[in-house]
Amino acid sequence: MNTKIVNFGEILLRLSKPGYQRLTQGHRMLGNYGGSEANTAISLAYLGNNVEYVSRLPYGAMGDAALMHLREYGLNVSHVVRGGERLGTYYFEEAVAMRNSHVIYDRKNSAMYSLKRGMVEWDKVLGDAAVFHCSGITCAISRDSMESTMDALQLAEAKGLTIVCDINYRKNLWGYGMQPHDVIYNMMQYSDIVFGDQNEWEVASGVKHIPFNALDAGYVINREAYQEYFRKMHVLFPKCKKMVMALRNQLASSHHTLTGLLYDAVHDCLYTTKIYDIQPIVDPMGVGDAFVAGYIHAHQKWAADNQYCLDFALSASALKNTIPGDQNLVTEEEIISNLTSSGGRIQR
């Protein structure tokens, strides 16, 4: 039985100033690797999955270094395309107290930006795969990147793969003339599993989201309202069997509440889980990617247990808030332990 999970997207160099400095301050910058799809792929590999990451990277030291980072976590990068001008980057100003975080993308004319249709040998990549994971970000980078994504989706559907779509709406990336709603809506028509936060589901569907105003872990979810919401989503996206929504309320830069929902469209059943009251937040980047990776991993192992898949995915996402950098470097054992413990104890 095929077990390979294919992730398609752009790995980025993340640059930020140390010690909560603004981007306009200081003289030193710290570098990490990020990028939503790469974050998901690395988390999945760290959990022990068979993962192939597909992207395009430039020749030279920067592309080589990014490949070394991916290989360090055990990813198969045999179909990464080489070429293009440069590695994509983003600049991240960390949030602190009442000051929000700030992201500046620098991805135009990157190697992935100029990826052309036909450069990726999709038939070889997907021939022995079980799951294909893609993201709205890859569709936002450029028209070429979007068309490559659609080619992969069509072939993955034809081969009977499980298709996982992360809506991943980033308004500052869309600049080549296509409307985000139209492209993401089309992408989701191929998808068996769709993930997004409440605002991203609104962008994809055009249906206004239900506010999540949890101030602590005692907040009560309006199950009836969400079930009716997802029934509307199933009419719009009939192929989708599992719909996953992350709910986060940012009370302060270092204090968030976080939970998730799972709708089984086949059985018209909504699943809810606990609310994590997380304080302090160490690094919120990649929290959604950790949720997606946790869910894909759980779905591959315990697909029949919807409640456990949701609980596991949320636990993985909550733990990411405690880890600096973009990637969720936690094990299955740690995620399961976090489901039933309050945390903070010494593991001997």
Residue (of 234, 163, 171) closest to 193 by Cα position: 163
DSSP character at residue 172: G
Q: Are 126 and 152 a contacting pair, CB within 8 Å?
A: yes
Mean pLDDT of 128-145: 96
Confidence of residue 80 (pLDDT cuts 50, 70, 90): very high
Tell me what pLDDT residue 100 has.
85
Tell me what pLDDT residue 247 has.
97
Residues 6+ apart with CB under 8 A from 214: 247, 249, 257, 259, 275
Tell me what pLDDT residue 1 has.
78
The per-residue pLDDT of the chain, averaged, comes to: 95
Indicate whether 99 pLDDT > 90: no
Give the separation between CA 183 and CA 153, rounded to whole angstroms.
13
User: What 3-state DSSP class applies to 235?
Assistant: helix
Give the separation between CA 239 and CA 191, rounded to whole angstroms.
6
Confidence of residue 346 (pLDDT cuts 50, 70, 90): very low
Residue type, 286: G
Q: Are 187 and 193 a contacting pair, CB within 8 Å?
A: no
Mean pLDDT of 2-26: 94
Tell me what pLDDT residue 98 has.
85
Tokens of 67: 């490949």
Indicate whether 348 pLDDT > 60: no
Q: Are 77 and 67 a contacting pair, CB within 8 Å?
A: yes
CATH architecture of 4-340: 3-Layer(aba) Sandwich (3.40)
Indicate whether 200 pLDDT > 60: yes
Beta bridge partners of 277: 257
Give the separation between CA 38 and CA 41, rounded to whole angstroms.
5
Indicate whether 340 pLDDT > 60: yes
Q: Are 45 and 75 a contacting pair, CB within 8 Å?
A: yes
Q: Are 113 and 58 a contacting pair, CB within 8 Å?
A: no
Tell me how far CA of residue 100 lies from CA of 24, 97, 273, 288, in angstroms: 15, 8, 28, 18
Tell me what pLDDT residue 347 has.
53
DSSP character at residue 117: T
